[in-house]
Amino acid sequence: MAAAQDTGGEAAAGKWYTAAKATYTTLIDTGHAISSAYQLVNVPSGVWIDERGRIVRPSETAAPKNQELKIGGKTINTQGDAYVAALRDWVAKGESSEFVMSDAEYRRRVKERSPREREADACFKLAVALHDRGREDEARQWWLRAQTLSPDNWNYHRQDWSFTSEAGKKWMDKFQKTTTDYYPKLELKEKP
């Protein structure tokens, strides 16, 4: 199922679902509830969940195909081909797929939120609620507070920037300064 992390709601996200002729479940997650619950910090992110409601693979970049994007002197690689192949393998083989993550690897990757990240999450939700009430000036200070507390969370930045006229410039400025990979390198296979 797809979940638009869009405080702008159907007006912002709907046309993309229509253009994609989506046949799957199409969610409009105005409060970013799914990113909050699954600790997702960018889009696109994917989580695999099995028939019993157990997380098979936690947050990873979930691109549909390989893309090499050269932007601002840097390169973004999406590694989508390998991701989709791994997903198909799991769908076919279930528990015996080599892409079902071990508990040890899962614990290595998934960390509890820090107190600052927990506060950032509460600030972001407050900003969304103020935005929904048309209180943009008050919302602004809480968008910014969330970004200050959790600077690596691209969702917090980009949702806020979408309500300004400078989203592209602000993204480029932060992208240029970021030293880590915009999309962390996929590690689909575990080391034995």
Classify residue 127 by burial, with Cβ atoms within 10 Å: 0-12, 13-18, 19+: buried
Smallest gap from Cβ 180 to other proteins, in A, equals: 19
Between 125 and 174, CB nearer to other proteins: 125
Task: Identify the residue among 23, 25, 165, 180 touching other proteins (CB under 8 A).
Answer: 25
Q: Are 162 and 13 in contact (CB under 8 A)?
A: no
Joined tokens for residue 101: 């993550």
Between 50 and 152, CB nearer to other proteins: 50
31 binds other proteins (CB under 8 A): yes
Stretch that binds other proteins, among 38-46, 72-80, 175-183, 184-192 (CB under 8 A): 38-46
* Distance of alpha carbon 149 from alpha carbon 165, whole angstroms: 23
| 3 state SS of 184 | coil
Smallest gap from Cβ 139 to other proteins, in A, equals: 9
Smallest gap from Cβ 68 to other proteins, in A, equals: 20
Buried b / exposed e along 41-59 (16+ C-beta atoms within 10 A): bbbbbbbbeeeeeeebbbb
53 binds other proteins (CB under 8 A): yes
192 binds other proteins (CB under 8 A): no
105 binds other proteins (CB under 8 A): no
Between 11 and 179, CB nearer to other proteins: 11
Locate tokens 């929904």: which residue?
Answer: 132
DSSP 137-148: HHHHHHHHHHHH
Q: Are 121 and 113 in contact (CB under 8 A)?
A: yes
Classify residue 40 by burial, with Cβ atoms within 10 Å: 0-12, 13-18, 19+: buried
Smallest gap from Cβ 46 to other proteins, in A, equals: 5
Between 77 and 125, CB nearer to other proteins: 125
86 binds other proteins (CB under 8 A): no
Task: Identify the residue among 66, 75, 162, 178 touching other proteins (CB under 8 A).
Answer: 162
167 binds other proteins (CB under 8 A): yes
Task: Identify the residue among 19, 21, 54, 165 touching other proteins (CB under 8 A).
Answer: 54
